[in-house]
A and B are shown apart, each in its own frame.
Chain A
Amino acid sequence: MRTHTDSVGVVIPQTVRFDSSISLASGVCLPGFELVYETYGALNDDASNAVLVCHALSGNHHAAGFHAPTDGVAGWWDNMIGPGKPIDTNQFFVVSSNNLGGCHGSTGPSSINSSTGQPYGSSFPLVTVEDWVRTQTMLADHLGIKCFAAVIGGSLGGMQALAWSYLFPHRIRHALVIAAASKLTAQNIGFNDVARQAILSDPDFHGGDYYQFGVVPSRGLKLARMLGHITYLSDDVMGARFGRLLQNGGINFGFGIEFEVESYLRYQGEKFSSSFDANTYLLMTRALDYFDPARLHDDDLSLALSEVRAKTLVVSFTSDWRFSPARSKEIVKALLDNGAQVSYAEIKADYGHDAFLLEGTYYHALIRNYMQRLMCQD
């Protein structure tokens, strides 16, 4: 039994169904959908203490606590969210949902399409970061939240926090945009495409309709994750952890697992491919590629962010080469150009992109101070 006093404890996911259709950025109209979400803490009387946490590529609604007393693994951001933690659930009502198109309970490619009785598969529409934000406003309405005290996210989640601030400037008071970017670079899109090609070329993919064949393109998904994982870590941290360590102390002149790093990546790939849907991975990486708020404003990010009213905290990590500090500074500059209230912290961390998920003294103190101050200001 988990009895940590700083844990939100056992949480029960909720599901909300929206029967009104939603028109997506792609032009496709989705006739109703479900979102699964969790909440931690209590909403105050004037609903002014609500915080939305947005997940990244491989995340889901289970951000904190446990699903069962015997659960060994807590939610993906449990070090950040809980009683007395930087996002303090004694003060805030934290909402965390699984994005539309996800594979952990919200309507997605692996869900049953009620009009056919079959999983959506290849017929599930591509969704964008902005689409997600729109569905999140529907969830906010459902929960009686007119305006979030803060929308917080890392990586793809940070893109959602940023999108909230320019799409719904009156519904967000603070945005915490962590290890994110206002658009992916060519190199970044390139990585995503290799990951997608691994899935798309898996013989078990069946054009996205693998469910009806009783198979999953797990080899492709595993490769995609292995590639992704390399890019989420820094060269230094991989060097420190694995170096050129050999599993059996010597080389075998073959192509089996010989280096420790190979074993680690394959394990990570296996683990991920058994718990994640390949179509969702494709969809999420595409949402990353497409995100570019400046595109509709002559590639002028300052113009794209001119409506932002939220105060923003932008955070980057020095060793993050997939969402580098330079990308975060582009967001900072665009906000500064508009005279918006923005703070920026560049955190010395050697872990790479994944540093945003890990505990760090400065990082957590920063989020803690920001959240405490936010409560005093509002």
Chain B
Amino acid sequence: MERRDYETIATWIKPNGKVLDLGCGDGSLLYHLIGTKNVQGYGVEIDDAKILSCIERGVDVIQVDLEAGLSVFESDSFDYVILSQTLQAMRHTERIVAEMLRVGRQAIVTLPNFGYWLNRWQLLAGHMPKSREFPHHWYDTPNVHFCTLADFETFCDDKMIRIVEKRILRGGNPVKIFPNLLGNLALYRIERS
């Protein structure tokens, strides 16, 4: 459990639920959820090495490209579909969110906040932000769609998506005031409205 959003995600998941973890990496979140919440889960991953890690720890994983959609999954077949810190690296942002809400009753999206003050400060100082959440240079980043929390919430509004719950974190701690300025990581639980 090395990622700061995992603990919050775990509190949002009801025991025995059915979970799909998109971009599941080495399967550690699912492994944790299976162990603590007795969920039935599948990961989706594209990277060979990460698939091997999932298989090694006994986490079921499906090797498909998220950009191509979730056609192997039936509508409404999951309680939760998780996309953890991956949305900003997706080319087809609208399509994947729509697919998540087709396949799952709820979706959990976590994303780094581009509007975090340190990022704004670095931009003001004339440089693209580099931080724990955005560790890459501008030229080698896999991220293609940066957004602030305000942007994501507007997006949900426009797409008739209801935000059921959100949590804004900085360094793993909850942020209550000026979240779009002081939070560097956001978690949203969303559903079709």
**Interfacial residues, chain A to chain B (CB-CB below 8 A):** 311, 313, 329, 332-333, 336-337, 339, 341-346, 348, 362, 365-366, 369-370, 372-373, 376-377
Contacts and interface: CB of A to CB of B under 8 A. Distances in A.
Contacts of A377: 58
B94 to A, nearest CB: 24
B74 interface: yes
A159 to B, nearest CB: 20
Contacts of B52: 362, 365-366, 369
A343 B77 contact: no
Nearest to B49: A362
Given A370-B55, A373-B55, A343 B74 contact: no
Given A333-B72, A336-B42, A362-B48, A344 B55 contact: no
Interface of B: 18, 40, 42, 48, 51-52, 54-58, 60-64, 71-74, 77
A4 B61 CA distance: 35
Nearest to A370: B55
A41 B63 CA distance: 32
Contacts of B74: 333, 336-337
Given A343-B55, A362-B52, A369-B55, A337 B77 contact: yes
A336 B77 CA distance: 9
Given A332-B72, A336-B72, A343 B62 contact: yes
Given A337-B74, A366-B55, A372-B56, A343 B61 contact: yes
Contact of A339 (B40, B58, B62): B40
Contacts of B64: 329, 344, 346
B77 A344 contact: no
- Tell me whether chain A's interface is mostly helix, strand or loop, or mixed: helix
- Tell me whether chain B's interface is mostly helix, strand or loop, or mixed: mixed
16 contacts: A311-B60, A329-B72, A333-B71, A333-B72, A333-B74, A336-B62, A337-B74, A337-B77, A339-B18, A341-B60, A342-B42, A342-B60, A366-B52, A372-B56, A373-B57, A377-B58
A349 B154 CA distance: 43
B73 A369 contact: no
A346 B63 contact: yes
A344 B58 contact: no
A337 B73 CA distance: 7
Nearest to A341: B60
A345 B42 CA distance: 13
Nearest to B20: A336
Contact of A345 (B57, B63, B72): B63
Contacts of A370: 55
A35 to B, nearest CB: 32
A369 B57 CA distance: 9
A86 B181 CA distance: 52
Contacts of A372: 56
Given A336-B42, A344-B61, 10 more contacts: A329-B64, A333-B73, A333-B74, A336-B62, A336-B73, A344-B62, A348-B48, A366-B51, A369-B52, A369-B56
A343 B50 CA distance: 13
A359 to B, nearest CB: 15
Which residue among B18, B56, B63 has the maximum number of chain A CB atoms within 10 Å of its CB? B63
A136 to B, nearest CB: 26
A355 to B, nearest CB: 14
A348 B48 CA distance: 9
